[in-house]
Every structure is written in C-alpha cells, then in structure tokens.
Amino acid sequence: MKREIVILGGGTGGTLAANRLRRLFPRDEARITVVDEDNRHIYQPGLLFVPFGLANPGAIVRDRAAQFHGGIDFRRASVDSVDTAASQVRLEDGNFLPYDALIIATGAHLAPDETPGLDNSARNVGTFYNLSGSERLRDQLAAFDGGELVVNVVDMPIKCPVAPLEFCFLADWYFQQRGLRDRVTITFVTPLDGAFTKPVCNSKLSFLLQEKGINLVTEFNTGEVETDEGRLVSYDNRSVPFDLAVVVPVHVGADYVGRSSGLGDEMNFVRTDKRTLRALSAPNIFVIGDAADIPTSKAGSVADFEGHLLAENVRRQLDGKPLLNTFDGHTNCFIETGFGKALLIDFNYDTEPLPGHYPWYIGLPLLKESSLNHLGKRMFEQFYWHILLPGRDVPGIGSTMPVAGKERGPAVAKTA
C-alpha cells in the first residue's frame, strides 16, 4: 500500500524536499503531493536586484509545476487547516488530504497591516520583499533625485536578514552611478542593537556603513509609519524623517497554522525541533524553510541544508526508525556590497561567522569583500534552478557546517 506524503508549499523548501523524497521513494511505495495556491515560483534573491535595474522581473519567475521531478503531484489549492489528530489536511474547497507524513513548507509572509500607517501603495513608501513591490520600487528610485532615503526593518525575524543592508549598499552604488549620491542621505533603521544579526559581523563589518556614509539607527521599534508627514515613529516616540522609506514589514507564518490546534506559535511559525526538523505537535509532521520557528536565518541556503536531513528523517519516521538529530543550523549568506563586490558569511547554531574560505581551504573568501563573492552571488541563480531546487547533492557541501578552511582564534565569539 502506498504511503501518502503531503507537502504544503511549493517554494524553495517544498520543492527541494519533494524532489529529494521522490529519489528516496519509488513511485509504487509513496505518493508525493505538493499543495500551493498559485503556480508562480519566484527566485526571491532576485527581488533585491530588480529596483536597481540589475534583474528582469520576468526572468526570476518560472512555472512552479515545472520544477518538480516526474511522479510528483502538484495541486493548486489553499489550505484551511491541519488536523494533527486525524492526520489530514483540510483544503479551503472542503476536500481533505490524508497523510502518513506531512511536510510544512509554506514559508513566511508579509504582514504590513501589523504596523499602523504602513501603506506600500503610498507615494513615499515601498518594499522589495515581494515582486509587485520590487517592480514599483524600481520606478520610485528612478524618480528619486535627492533627500532622505530610509531603509527600515520593522521587526525580526524576516526572510534573508542581510537583504535590507544589501539594499543600502546597492543604493549607495546606484546613486553614485547616477551622480546623485551627495544629494541622498541613506539611513538604516533596525530594531536590533547593531546593523548585523551576528555580533562578529557587527564588530568586523560595521566599518562598511561608515565607509559608504550610511547612517545607522538601532533599537528602533517602529510603532507607526506617518506617510503624510514622512516619518517613522517608534514605540518610545523617537522619529526618523524620510522622503522615501523602504520598509520590510513584519513577517508571519501562514494563516492556516493559526487555525490548526497546537501547530504554531503566536506568529504562526511552526514549533519545530531544531535538530530533527520534526514539528513538536505530532510525530509525523516535519518542517522545512521559513515556516519553522528554529533559531536560524530564514534563508534559502538553510532550506537547502535542511533538505538533506529532512528527507532522510521522513523515511526513518515512515519506517519506524529513530530520527537523526544532526541539523546544526548551518547557514551561509552572500552580502552584496556594491561596486561589483560581495561578502560571504557561514555559521551555525553554535559558531559565529569565521574568517577563512568556503567550502574548503580553497574556495570563496569569508568575512571579506571580493569580486569573487559577487560573482558567486550572481551565479547562484543558476545553481538555484538547476542544483538546489532539483535536490541534487554537491560534493563537499552537506547539511552540516564545514570546519575545513575556517580560521579559529581567541577573537572569534561563540554562542550557545
């Protein structure tokens, strides 16, 4: 009898998980069904480049169904809720999908309504965290000829935590290219106590903001966006004026998570064991990517590293075997710094970003600006479509953070 594997979400995590599982299970052993409400697969790292004319919106969108291996069923539908006790998914059309194993991969979603006054249709407010916003911001930047440009992260966690900083760096380059940089003030406003989410990055990389003349406002918890007055107002009544605000809204999990008893937290992120990637609510539910509440970055690289372990643990669960608890929170991120250069950081739950090279002694430089990293960032799109999404293994790159090539010393911070 075939086992039913249902995957909610056909984005990065859901697609690579489906493709990896299809290789693990012959078609006569398991039916794999992916559910998503639309058929557009967007290469989300490309959204950063659209406002600066460095990416064509049409080129970063592909047919979702075409990304799955043969033998994977794709169903366009919206999810109403998950009944963990009955092991079935209720769809909004009233139909049910029973499962032997469920994978939640519905990601993180923008919630601008959580911030009073935030209106991304306002003349002086924009975002690049979705396709329509990214295209609109391209026109807003093209019409911007001087004044206060503010990039604001309302709250954490967000998808790709370094992207707002990358936007600042690219804006510095963009306005220099247009000959307007001396007429534009760029300010990065964050709820964190530093520009970067990692202490080592703050100590080693904060010079980049000073070097590029980017102002920094920290511990700013945005309570309201006053579009008419052109200012951000924090809960402690501080304010930051703007002529154009690029705002990263609050992120939440999918609505159906909140309608599913015991599945998620107050932000609808799924409570997940950070080592096994199994949901805490039921033994036959697993989570991949941004939908999980685990303490690692919501980035595509994390979903890729998780996919190695998740597919194996789904098989172990269905076979009645103990799960592997080996996911270490491995994350790496390119940080575009403009002028044809980028940084690369690599870290996990226990180790802060280290200098050295990735993935081995010979490789891309870590914690260091280089043209090679910029090339890696731009080439990653092809890696994404042809290696990451199909769930292919790359020699030397696995789910755990590599140690070879990294430099350890007394100045390197450790976190528990």
- For the chain, the residue count is 416
Mean pLDDT of 94-118: 97
User: Is residue 178 located within the same domain as residue 220?
Assistant: yes
User: Distance (Å, rounded) from C-alpha 274 to C-alpha 326?
Assistant: 9
142-197 pLDDT per residue, tens? 999 999 999 999 999 999 999 999 999 999 999 999 999 999 999 999 999 999 98
Q: pLDDT at position 203, please?
A: 82
| pTM for the model | 0.95
| Last residue in a domain, options 319, 350, 367 | 319
- Is 56 part of a structural domain of the chain? no
Mean pLDDT of 85-89: 98
Q: Is the pLDDT assigned to residue 410 strictly greater than 70?
A: no
Alpha carbon separation from 43 to 46, 73, 226, 373 (Å, rounded) = 6, 22, 32, 19
User: Is residue 283 located within the same domain as residue 261?
Assistant: yes
- Is 155 part of a structural domain of the chain? yes
- Is 229 part of a structural domain of the chain? yes
Using DSSP's 3-state secondary structure scheme, residue 343 falls into strand
273-309 pLDDT per residue, tens? 999 999 999 999 999 999 999 999 999 999 999 999 9
User: Is residue 169 located within the same domain as residue 222?
Assistant: yes
Percent of the chain with pLDDT over 90: 91
Mean pLDDT of 202-215: 91
- Give the number of domains in the chain: 2
User: Is residue 140 located within the same domain as residue 263?
Assistant: no
Q: pLDDT at position 135, please?
A: 98
Q: pLDDT at position 414, please?
A: 36
| Last residue in a domain, options 286, 319, 352 | 319
- Is 361 part of a structural domain of the chain? no
Tell me the average pLDDT of the chain: 95
Q: pLDDT at position 397, please?
A: 84
**What is the domain-level CATH number for residue 196?**
3.50.50.60
- Is 183 part of a structural domain of the chain? yes
- Is 290 part of a structural domain of the chain? yes
Task: Work out the pLDDT band at 409, boundaries 50, 70, 90.
Answer: low
Alpha carbon separation from 2 to 29, 215, 245 (Å, rounded) = 5, 58, 52
Q: Is the pLDDT assigned to residue 411 strictly greater than 50?
A: no
Cβ burial of 376 (10 Å; 0-12, 13-18, 19+) is middle
Bridge partners (DSSP) listed for residue 347: 331
Q: pLDDT at position 412, please?
A: 41
Q: What is the distance, to the nearest Å, from the Cα of residue 104 to the centroid of all Cα atoms in its chain?
A: 15
344-403 pLDDT per residue, tens? 999 999 999 999 999 998 899 999 999 999 999 999 999 999 999 999 998 878 889 999
225-263 pLDDT per residue, tens? 999 999 999 999 999 999 999 999 999 999 999 999 999
User: Is residue 29 located within the same domain as residue 101?
Assistant: yes
Burial 358-375 (b: 16+ CB within 10 A, else e): bbeeebbbbbbbbeebbe
Q: Is the pLDDT assigned to residue 413 strictly greater than 70?
A: no
Mean pLDDT of 14-35: 97
- Is 170 part of a structural domain of the chain? yes
User: Is residue 12 located within the same domain as residue 126?
Assistant: no
Residue 177 tokens, joined = 């290219």
User: Distance (Å, rounded) from C-alpha 216 to C-alpha 175?
Assistant: 18
User: Is residue 37 located within the same domain as residue 97?
Assistant: yes
- Is 244 part of a structural domain of the chain? yes
Q: pLDDT at position 199, please?
A: 84
User: Distance (Å, rounded) from C-alpha 15 to C-alpha 69?
Assistant: 9
User: Is residue 180 located within the same domain as residue 261?
Assistant: no
How many Cα atoms sit within 13 Å of 363 on the Cβ side? 20
Q: pLDDT at position 415, please?
A: 33
User: Is residue 119 located within the same domain as residue 244?
Assistant: yes
User: Is residue 256 located within the same domain as residue 201?
Assistant: no
37-62 pLDDT per residue, tens? 999 999 999 999 999 999 999 999 99
Q: pLDDT at position 362, please?
A: 87
Q: pLDDT at position 204, please?
A: 80
Q: Is the pLDDT assigned to residue 98 strictly greater than 70?
A: yes
Angle of helix 12-24 relative to helix 300-319, nearest 10 degrees? 40
Q: pLDDT at position 56, please?
A: 96
Closest CA to 23 of 408, 392, 407: 392
Mean pLDDT of 326-334: 96
User: Is residue 77 located within the same domain as residue 176?
Assistant: no
Where in the sequence is the domain holding 304, given as residue range(s)?
A: 3-45+61-110+252-319
User: Is residue 310 located within the same domain as residue 185?
Assistant: no
| Last residue in a domain, options 272, 295, 319 | 319
